[in-house]
Amino acid sequence: MDYFLTEEQQMIVEVAQQITDEKIIPQRAELDEKEEFATEILKDIAKADLFGLYIPEEYGGYGGGCFEVVLALEQFGRGCVAVATSFAASALGAYPILLSGSKEMKQKYLPDVASGSMKAAFALTEANAGSDASGIQTTAVLDGDEWVLNGTKQWITNAGEAQIYSIVAITDKSKGARGASMFVVEDTDPGFSYGPKEKKMGIRASATRELIFKDCRIPKDRLIGRQGMGFITVMKTLDLSRPGIAILGVGLGQAALDESVTYAKQRVQFGKPIISFQAIQHMLADMAIQVEASRALVYAAAKHIAAHQKDMSKASSMCKVFATDMAMKVTTDAVQVLAGYGYMREYPVEKMMRDAKILQIYEGTNQIQRNVVGQELNKEYT
């Protein structure tokens, strides 16, 4: 379907598309198999200027918004959700600085993030703080001109690969939700180390590790925004980033659909290509319908978010739930269409199905997203 992109938006799609077809797709199976971080591909993405898509021109970026990022991520998601996640996680790590950081902080980090020479990561989750962020135990205490951090962050995407980390720590336990603050930690900071790389079901080419802070001392000015504003920045960040996860579902669903249709046209059983059987046709039709509906919703949500600084939550959560549940279903169906071949690692769809699952989990489980939508409805209908 034609979404009437502007000429520049079309260019973003073309650039991302070419990287996906020429760099990501040929390597994705090997990267997945070896659980290897896609360093070279991310360099290619950097050379193509895409790391700067969402960063204002004054900091060396392109000056686009949520929708532009979504267009690029759709292509990357079509190629490999692991690579796309590494890219998206860097944006997620940079958003807090972009949204709440001081001018000096922006000047210090954003130009390097825009050029791709610096990757970022976002660290909220802990062993006892998943969907319930109030369980956060990492603390930051001001000691003279330095903050001293202690605690452990868990399952942090890009950990060990990124150079800067936007982390959430408790600065005043007594203030509850107002007691959390965000900080920038650099990978060379003393007292900062990583846990071992996690073994995952899917998105195996992305890096996931713990961040360990043991009396990690960072300069005072690494505080992002004001003290106690941590959760507000987190919420704004996630509202802005969720359409990026949603669109990975769309790209992934599209890829699964492409593989399924191509295969169904080639595969002959009972003397006919299996696409001529209605049982298969209906599956493919449902896949196509769901992918397109998801795309339309995510695009609309991304445009809404780009245009409205407030009231982003509902749109953001809706599209994340819809498109990622869709991706799980469509990739599962793709494996079914390819059947025995689909189950084999020789073909790409089993990886797609493994990769799809995380989309329903990370950046807020789909259950939490439904809570958000529900709460928003409750507010709207008062």
Partner 1 sequence: MLQINIDACIGCGLCEEECTYEAISVVDGIAEVNDKCTLCGSCVDVCEVEALHIEREEKQVQSDFGDWSGVCVFAEHRNGRIAPVTFELLGIGRQLADDLEVKLSAVLLGSDLSDKASKLIAFGADTVYQVDDTALEDFTDDAYGNVFEDIVREHKPEIVLAGATAIGRSFIPQVATALETGLTADCTELAIRKEDRTLLQTRPAFGGNVMATIECPYSRPQMATVRPMVMKSLPEDQGRKGEIISYTPKPERLQSRVKVLNSVKEDRDQINITEAEIIVSGGRGLDDEKGFALIRELADALGGAVGASRAAVDSEWIPYPHQVGQTGKTVCPKLYIACGISGAIQHIVGMQSSDMIVAINKDPDAPIFDVATCGIVGDLFEVVPMLTEKIKERKTS
Partner 2 sequence: MNIIVCVKQVPDAKDVRLDPKTNTLSREGVESIMNPYDRHALEAAVQLKENYGGTVTVVSMGPPQAEEVLREAVSCGADEAVLVSDRAFAGADTWATTYTLMKAIKKIGTFDLIICGKQAIDGDTAQVGPGLAHRLNIPFVTCIRNITNCEDSLLKAERLMDDGYDVLEIQLPALLTVVKDINEPRVPSLKGKMKAKKISITSMSAEDIGANPEQIGLNGSTTQVVRVFSPEPRGEKTMLTGSVAEQVEQLIEKLEAIQ
The contact set with partner 1 (CB under 8 A) reads 29-30, 346-347
The yes or no reply on residue 224 touching partner 2 (CB under 8 A) is no
Comparison of 21 and 311: residue with beta carbon closer to partner 2: 21
**Min separation Cβ 147 and partner 2, Å:** 37
In the block, which residue shows the tokens 């990492």?
138
Q: What does the alpha-carbon distance between residue 246 and residue 70 come to, in Å, rounded to a whole number?
A: 9
Q: What does the alpha-carbon distance between residue 376 and residue 209 come to, in Å, rounded to a whole number?
A: 34
The yes or no reply on residue 55 touching partner 2 (CB under 8 A) is no
**Min separation Cβ 372 and partner 1, Å:** 40
Q: Which does 29 bind (CB under 5 to 8 A by kind): partner 2, partner 1, none?
A: partner 1
Q: What does the alpha-carbon distance between residue 51 and residue 94 come to, in Å, rounded to a whole number?
A: 11
Closest of 55, 141, 83, 368 to residue 235, by C-alpha? 368
Site string for partner 2, 21-50 (x = CB under 8 A): -xx--------------------x--xxxx
**Min separation Cβ 40 and partner 2, Å:** 8
The residue from 40, 350, 363, 376 that is catalytic is 363
Q: Which of 3, 11, 265, 345 binds partner 2 (CB under 8 A)?
A: 11
User: Could you give the C-alpha distances from 201 to 24, 77, 156, 352, in angstroms and in order?
Assistant: 20, 17, 15, 11
Comparison of 253 and 348: residue with beta carbon closer to partner 1: 348
Phi first, then psi: give them for residue 38, nearest 5 degrees. Answer: -85, 60
DSSP state of 210: E
Please enumerate in sequence order all residues whose Cβ is within 8 A of that of 375, keeping only pairs 6 or more positions apart, or say none: none
In this structure, the chain runs to a length of 382
Comparison of 338 and 358: residue with beta carbon closer to partner 1: 338
Q: Which does 155 bind (CB under 5 to 8 A by kind): partner 1, partner 2, none?
A: none
The yes or no reply on residue 114 touching partner 2 (CB under 8 A) is no
Comparison of 200 and 351: residue with beta carbon closer to partner 1: 351
From the list 15-23, 179-187, 297-305, 309-317, the region that binds partner 2 by CB under 8 A is 15-23
Comparison of 127 and 339: residue with beta carbon closer to partner 1: 339
Q: What does the alpha-carbon distance between residue 159 and residue 249 come to, in Å, rounded to a whole number?
A: 23
Tell how far CA 102 is from the center of its chain: 24
Closest of 287, 213, 218 to residue 253, by C-alpha? 287
Q: What does the alpha-carbon distance between residue 293 and residue 309 come to, in Å, rounded to a whole number?
A: 25
Mode of pairing for the β-strands spanning 164-170 and 120-123: parallel
Catalytic residue at 104?
Answer: no
Comparison of 261 and 296: residue with beta carbon closer to partner 1: 261
- Residue pair 369/317 in contact (Cβ under 8 Å)? The answer is yes
Q: Which does 47 bind (CB under 5 to 8 A by kind): partner 1, partner 2, none?
A: partner 2
**Min separation Cβ 18 and partner 2, Å:** 4
Look at residue 175 and give its three-state secondary structure. Answer: helix
**Active site amino acids:** 363
Residues that bind partner 2 (CB under 8 A): 7-8, 11-12, 14-15, 18-19, 22-23, 44, 47-50, 53, 62
